[in-house]
Amino acid sequence: MPNLDDRNWLQQAIDLSRSCPPTTTAFCVGAIIVSADGEVLATGYSRETDTHDHAEEVALTKVADDDPRLSTATIYTSLEPCSKRASRPRTCTELILAAGIRRVVLAWREPSTFVDCEGVELLEAAGVEVLELPDLAQEVQEINAAVLG
């Protein structure tokens, strides 16, 4: 069940997605990793340092792999973590699972514009709690209007 903090953190991730360099070939996504005690561990957005960067990937690279806070952290992402990817060897879903994050909060499921995404299903199958706040999806869609046509 989402709480007020979930909504606030997810809104911050959505706001962060506005920092993405615009393109018609990829979604603008923002992600924030927050510890169980409410500390921001890292943030990231699509194309932050490279044209192939995904938001969750960028945020995860900013936290040490062995940081014990990851196992109780939540990652807030404006778009469902990818489950198929051509530009890098590991998907964001795989990176989240490898990091040991057990909770994901998102605003919008990835539409089949580029691929059929199964991030939510794969995360849930691995025992990760996934919360979707669909009432925030319209803002994410508006940010991604160039992709959606």
Active-site residues, by number, are 56
SS3 assignment, position 28: coil
CA–CA dist 33, 27 (Å, integer): 19
Residue reference for tokens 């051509």: 86
CB neighbours of 39 closer than 8 A, spacing ≥ 6? 69
